[in-house]
Structure 1
Amino acid sequence: MVYFKYGKAFHDLRIQHGFSLSAFEELGIAKSTLSNFENGKSMLSFDRLDFALQKMNVSPLDYSLMINNGEQDSYISIFDEIEQAYYQRDIKHLQEIYQENRSGSKEQKLVAYSAKGLYQYLLSQEIDELEDYIKGIQFWGLFELSILANIGDKLNDTLIDNVLEDFLYNKSYYENVLYYRVLIYRFLYKVILNYVDTGKKENAQEILEISKQFFMPGDVMSRVIINYAQSFYCYYYIDEKKGKNQLQDTLRFLKKIGAIDFRNTLKMQYDKRITKKNRSE
C-alpha cells in the first residue's frame, strides 16, 4: 500500500491533536474517505490534505517529519554536510558520504547519490533508482526536496515536467516555507543550466518563467541564483556580451557582500562555460 506512510503520519498527528475522523467533514472530507487514507487504501487530494493539516495547526515540516518516522533530522544534517562540502569544493568529503551510504537503506542510497551527483556522473542504474523514487512521491518534504535540489536535474524531461506541474498546482503550499522555496530554487537553477548546456532553449526559457512565480520579497539569494542562470541563457541565446557582463556583475556582488563560498561555486560554473570557451577560441 503505497499510501500507507502518508495516512499513518496523518493518523498519528490527528490523534496527537485530539481530532476525530468526523472533525474534517466541514472541509468536505468524509469519515470513510479519511479512514481509507489513514489505512493506506487511498490518497487525499493535495488541497484537502493541506486544509486538514491547517485545521490541526500542523506545519508542512511537522508532517514531513512524521512521514519519515522522525528520522528526517539526521538526514537534514547529512544534506547540510553535502551542501557545505559542495560549496567548499570538498570532493573528498562528498566521496566519503557516498561511500558511507551507498550500501544502506533506500533512503541512504538516495543520500549517497545526492553527494555523488555533485562531483561525478551517476550510473544509469542509480538514475533509474532515483526516478523510481521520485515517481512514488505523494508529499514533498525536506528529505525529498533536498534530493531534488542536489540531483533533480538528472531526471528525464517528462519527470521534471511532472514535478513542476505538482509544484505549480500546489504552489501556495510550498511557497509558505522558506526552506522549501530555497530547495526548489536550487533544483530550478540546475535544470535551467542543464537545458542550456544541452541546447534546449525552449525548455530553459519555460523553467525561467516558472521560477519567477515562486519569488517572495525576501528571497534575495534565490533571485541571485535564478538571475545567474538567466544570464547564462542570455549569453548563449540572446546577447553574448550582455550575458557575460551580467554574470560578472553577479560574481562581483557576491564578493562584495562576502558570500565567498557561494561565489566560488557560481564562478566554477562560469569558468566551465565561459572562461574555458574563451580559451579555446
Structure 2
Amino acid sequence: MNYQKYGQIIRKIREQSNISLGSFNKIGVSKAALSDFERGKSMMSFGKVLEVLKYLGVGLGEFEVLANDYDMTDLRELFRKVEKASLSGDIEQLKFLSSTTEKILKQKEISISIRVIYNHVDIHELEELTEYLHTIMIWSYKELFIFYVMMDHLRPKDIISILNDFEEYAEGIYRSSEYKRALALVLMRALTVLTYYGCKEEGELLLAAIKKYNLTDTMFLRNLFLCTEGYWIFQFEDKNRGYAISENSIRILELLGERHVIDFYKKRFKKYMNGK
C-alpha cells in the first residue's frame, strides 16, 4: 500500500459525497495540500488523514477495508446479515458470521461483537471492546455496530462518556444520509439503557438529538422512537401516559414489520417496562 492509493480512495469518497476540495479548509487542510495528496504528488500526516476521514464521515475501519481492495458495502452487508440473524434468534448463523469475519475480513472487534449477541464472550473480551469504544476518533458502521451491540453491557458512565466523544468526532456521521438508520438505532438503544438507569437529563438530550437531526424518517423508525420516548415518559413524567404511548407504538409496529422483528422489540419493551 502506498500514499498514492490512499489519496485515490479519499478522492473517490469525497467526490461521491459531493464535497469540494475547499471544504476542508475549516479543518486545517488546504485545497492545494489535499489536491496534491489525492493525485499522489505528496503525502499528508496520519493526523491530517484522520481529520479528512472524520470530515467525510468514514471510519478508519472502513478505510482499511477499501485500502485492502474490499468493497465498502462488504461490511454493510455483513451487518445486515448479523441484524437479521440477531432479530430471528439464529445462533448458528451468528456463529458462522463471527468466524468468517475474523478469518476472512480480519476484523477481530466485529467478530467479538457478534459473539456478544449470543453471549459467548468472557469478561476480558467485554473489557477489550469497552476500551476500544473509548479510543474511537473516527466513527463508521463498524464503530456504530460495536457500540450498539455493547450497550446492554456498558455502565451508564461509559455510555455517557462514549456519547460525549461521539458528539465531538462524529460530524460527518450526522451529515451523511447513509448512516441515518444506524445512528437512529444506536441513539434509541442508548436512550433506553440510560433511561433504565435513571439518567433523565442525558436521555432528554438524546431525545432532542434524534428529533433535531430528523433521524426517524421511516414509519418503522418513527414508531420505534415513539416507543422509546414513551419509556422515558413512563420513567420520569407519567407512567400511564408513557406506557400508553409505547404500547400503541408497538401495536403499529406489528402492522408494519416482520413477526420476528416485532417480537424482538416487544420483549425489550416488556423487559424495561417491568424493570428487569
TM-score (norm 1): 0.71
The answer on whether the counterparts of 1:185 and 1:211 sit within 8 Å (CA) in structure 2 is yes
- Tell me what 1:12 maps to: 8
Q: Structure 1 CA distance, aligned partners of 2:242 and 2:162?
A: 29
Q: 1:246 to 1:265 in 2, by over 3 A?
A: same
CA shift at 1:225, angstroms? 2.2
Distance 1:74 1:178 in 2: 18
> Would you say the 8 A contact 1:188–1:207 is kept in 2?
yes
Structure-2 residue corresponding to 1:226: 225
Give the 3-state SS of the residue equivalent to 1:43 in structure 2. Answer: helix
Partners in 1 of 2:134 and 2:6 — Cα distance?
A: 21
How far residue 25 of structure 1 moved from its aligned partner, in angstroms, is: 7.0
**Amino acid corresponding to residue 86 of structure 2 in structure 1:** Y
For 1:137 and 1:247, the matched residues in 2 are separated by 33
Preserved contact between residue 150 and residue 186 of structure 1 (Cα < 8 Å): no
What pairs up with 1:63-212 in 2 under 5 angstroms? 65-68=62-65, 69=67, 70-71=69-70, 72-98=72-98, 100=99, 108-120=107-119, 123-152=122-151, 154-157=153-156, 160-165=159-164, 167-169=166-168, 173-212=172-211
Contact 1:232 1:247 in 2 (8 A): yes
- Larger displacement relative to structure 2 (81-90 or 103-112): 103-112
Once residues 130 and 230 of structure 1 are traced to their aligned partners in structure 2, the CA distance between those partners, rounded to angstroms, is 28
Report if the CA contact (8 A) 1:101-1:108 is conserved. Answer: no
Q: CA deviation at 1:195?
A: 1.6
Question: How far did 1:167 drift?
Answer: 4.6
- C-alpha contact (below 8 Å) 1:215/1:223 kept by paired residues: no
User: Judging changes above 3 Å, is the alpha-carbon distance between structure 1 residues 123 and 195 closer, same or farther for their aligned structure 2 residues?
Assistant: farther
CA distance in 2, matches of 1:134, 1:105: 23
Aligned residue in 2 for 1:56: none
Are the counterparts in 1 of residues 85 and 94 from structure 2 also a CA contact under 8 Å?
A: yes
Could you say if the C-alpha distance between residues 106 and 43 of structure 1 is closer, same or farther in structure 2, counting changes exceeding 3 Å?
Answer: farther
Question: Cα gap change, 1:63/1:47 in structure 2, threshold over 3 Å: closer, same or farther?
Answer: closer
Q: Write the distance in 2 (CA, Å) between the matches of 1:203 and 1:14.
A: 35
Going from structure 1 to structure 2, the CA distance change for 1:44 and 1:84 (only over 3 Å counts) comes to: same
Stretch moving more, 221-230 or 260-269 = 221-230
Tell me if structure 1 keeps the 8 A contact 2:138–2:169. no
State the one-letter code of the partner of 1:12. Q
Flag the 1:239–1:122 CA change in 2: closer, same or farther, 3 A. Answer: farther
Runs of 4+, deviation exceeding 6 Å = 32-35, 61-64
Q: Which runs of 5+ in 2 are unaligned?
A: none
Percent identity, please: 16
Letter in 2 for 1:242: R
For residues 112 and 186 of structure 1, the distance between their equivalents in structure 2, rounded to whole angstroms, comes to 20
Write the distance in 1 (CA, Å) between the matches of 2:23 and 2:167: 26
Change (3 A) 1:25 1:97: closer
Partner of 1:213: 212
Change (3 A) 1:143 1:201: same
> Within 1, Cα distance between the matches of 2:124 and 2:60?
31
Q: Deviations over 1:213-269 (max 9, x none)?
A: 221573433332222212112222222222221121111101223443332111111
1:180 to partner: Cα distance: 0.8
- Cα RMSD (Å) of the superposition? 4.1
Q: CA deviation at 1:147?
A: 2.2
Between 152-161 and 223-232, the greater mean CA deviation after superposition:
152-161
Q: 1:95 to 1:101 in 2, by over 3 A?
A: same
